[in-house]
Chains A and B, each alone.
Chain A
Amino acid sequence: MSTPRTLYDKLWDSHVVRVDHDGSALLYVDRQLVHEVTSPQAFEGLRLAGRRVWRAGASLAVPDHNVPTTGRGGGVAGIADPVSRIQVETLDRNCAEFGITEFTMNDSRQGIVHVIGPEQGATMPGMTIVCGDSHTSTHGALGALAFGIGTSEVEHVLATQCLRMKKSRNMRVTVSGATGPGVGAKDIILAVIAQIGTAGATGCTVEYAGDAIRALSMEGRFTVCNMSIEAGARAGIIAVDQTTIDYVRGRPFAPRGAVWESAANAWRELVSDEGAVFDHEVAVDAAAIKPQVSWGTSPEMTVPVDGVVPDPAFEADPVRRQSMAAALRYMDLRAGEAIAGIGLDKVFIGSCTNGRIEDLRAAADQVRGRRVAGSIRLAMVVPGSGLVKKQAEEEGLDRVFTEAGFEWREPGCSMCLAMNADRLAPGERCASTSNRNFEGRQGRGGRTHLVSPVMAAAAAVAGHFVDTSAEG
């Protein structure tokens, strides 16, 4: 009998083209997703070296980071920021030149690269998936090996369909039991990051397991895997089950007929074997997870909503103490302050973490028939894709949001990283469903609190954070 293997071992083994004498492997890449920010220099490199794209059909491109979320009537030529416009035009030109399928800005299927990949069925179980974006880990929720790469590697994959790399270690995070009311996938992953730290999974591929993970919808699983990089892991994965297979069935890129049956049968094998050994094991009790709110400038600086801002004085490590103090200064918070009492200026619902239909439904449930608090300057919903937007509109969610005082925007990355016009002004405080609370992430001097869509919506109505698990 062969040695039991983890899911990561299986995905790795099935993609190794060759192993060199130095132990580094050439790993075959099934799918590459491409966006406008990390690809122009890669295409330029190909041109300068006179190289062709190995397999154009392996790539799917979409502009998302830099596109405006309002006023797209003028098309790409109408993008107000000339530097952004050039970058989006460059993607269009590169894809046309190299024969890569692109959903252009005004295509109904345009959206955030990590939302449209699964939505189209372009990312499937068992695949190796890369993109010049660290949140590529999202696609691991399908039982795929998916991770972010730099631009040199984007060029390498375009030219060779392979990556040169070494295998990482196996970590399993088991979330046992059931979560309580008002607690969702975002709270689970924020609690995991708070527990293991922002570098806790560096060098590892994390498999999320346990009843609480199995109970999540695919949307929730994408949220969990999405933030693996915030714990330092390049990739996060979840074993295939019926939820995975049901999600993929019928999507535009998904196989059909007899091929579907053989694909689904192959995918059912994508689980860690009984007895497989992990280098690291982490146990989390789902029932103990409260709704989470980040207070600092690293995703690990997160506490339950019924908690208080921590005091650096109780931190033993001097480097960490200093970093906590710097975070308190940047965030303009005081140790001991109640999280639920923190007032907000803006609310952002969207991103590759929480811009899917289920996220919008959960947020809409909080605001239906209510109004955004008068103290909130801007509350905005940015759907993750054109198709998510369309679905939400068919369900009337857009009206729920706009009647409550939210703005309803066009799809894109938007205020998750503020490359377009959507950003915080210096000193503004935002409840955000995105993934990073780094200094200046949402705009220079802006203050970000990472939360779930339920929390963001409830906070928009209240004007401050509220314990959503204490309701009803």
Chain B
Amino acid sequence: MESFQQVHGVAVPLDRPNVDTDQIIPKQYLKSIARSGFGPNLFDDWRYLDPGDVGDDHGKRRLNPDFVLNHEHYRGAQVLLARDNFGCGSSREHAPWALLDYGIRCIIAPSFADIFYGNCFKNGILPVALAAAEVDQLFAEVAAAPGCKIAVDLPAQTVTAPAGEVFRFTVDAALKERLLNGLDDIGLTLQHRGEIEKFEARRKAEAPWVFN
């Protein structure tokens, strides 16, 4: 997995609450059996005026000029500014895959849905929850100077607004460590193979029906 240290990048503002994973990556693209290539279909229904499907040449589709991701200012954005409950709905990991493939490394919002939040950490994306007033301020600064950059520092746990104000954020210590080092979760867990085997043997003795 890709590690995450710092990002200093253009922030694109997506000003609506409860953005669900069906919007982040619509269902037809979930038929792919690959982990990559979802970037052109990030926010597909909002981003294009015409419908798309797997295998289409998305470069030839009509872009929706009103959708924020298509605005010239936000080209190459690495930071997504969002509202409450970002990533709600389906557990599809295709959502962080699409964000990462597009180039987004950090999402800042007042709150996130649980499954999506966890999925980000497995894919080198840092979700940052800030207070609603702080997120409001970032939206206002980005609106005042579209294309401005936000700096996010995971070791220091800070977000630096375009105008220079610094906001601190909290992150679970274990998730932070794994993201900083891009660690392989499965390898770490298998270091405890003996304990898992012991637990499993006890469970089998106590609740044999579980192993039917």
Task: State the A residues within 8 Å of B (CB).
Answer: 17-18, 20, 22-24, 26, 28, 30-31, 37-38, 40-41, 44, 49, 51, 54-55, 57, 65-66, 81, 83-84, 86-87, 90, 121, 124, 126-127, 132-134, 148-153, 155-156, 159-162, 164-166, 168, 198-199, 202-203, 229, 232, 234, 253-255, 259-260, 263, 266, 298, 319-320, 322-323, 326, 417-419, 436, 438-441, 444
Known: A83-B54, A150-B119, A259-B209. A438 touches B196 (CB 8 A): no
Q: Taking the nearest CB of chain A, how far is it from the CB of B120, in angstroms?
A: 9
| Residue numbers in A under 8 Å from B119 (CB-CB) | 150, 152
21 A/B residue pairs, CB under 8 Å, sorted by A: A18-B192, A26-B189, A26-B192, A28-B203, A37-B31, A38-B91, A41-B35, A81-B31, A86-B31, A86-B33, A124-B209, A126-B207, A133-B91, A149-B91, A164-B189, A166-B172, A198-B18, A319-B83, A323-B17, A419-B27, A436-B20
Give the 6 A-B residue pairs with the shortest CB-CB distance, closest first: A40-B33, A255-B209, A150-B93, A152-B122, A22-B174, A150-B119
Q: What residues of B have a CB within 8 angstroms of the CB of A322 in the complex?
A: 15-16
Contact of A17 among B111, B115, B195 (CB under 8 A): B195
A44 vs B199: C-alpha distance when bound (angstroms):
28
Bound-state Cα–Cα, A253 to B208, Å: 12
Q: Say yes or no: A150 contacts B115, CB within 8 Å.
A: yes
Contact of A259 among B96, B118, B185, B208 (CB under 8 A): B208
- Inter-chain contacts of B89 with A (CB < 8 A): 134, 229, 436, 438
Q: Are A28 and B196 in contact (CB under 8 A)?
A: yes
CB-nearest residue of chain B to A126: B207
Q: Does B34 contact A (CB under 8 A)?
A: yes
Given contacts A124-B210, A438-B22, contact A22 B91 (CB under 8 A): no
CA distance A41 to B26 in the complex (A): 18
Interfacial residues, chain B to chain A (CB-CB below 8 A): 15-18, 20, 22-23, 26-28, 30-35, 45, 51, 54-55, 83-85, 88-93, 96, 111, 113-115, 118-119, 122-123, 172-174, 177, 185-186, 188-190, 192, 195-196, 199-200, 203, 207-212
Specify which of A133, A202, A229, A438 lies most central, judged by the most chain B CB atoms within 10 Å of its CB.
A438
Bound-state CA distance A464–B34 (Å) is 42
Which residue of B18, B83, B199 contacts A28 across the interface (Cβ within 8 Å)? Answer: B199
**Chain B residues, Cβ within 8 Å of A134:** 89-91, 115
Which residues of B sit under 8 angstroms from A28, Cβ to Cβ?
196, 199-200, 203
Question: With A and B bound together, what is the CA distance between A57 and B200 in angstroms?
Answer: 13
Assess A41 versus B118: contact at CB under 8 Å? Given A159-B190, A255-B208, A436-B22: no
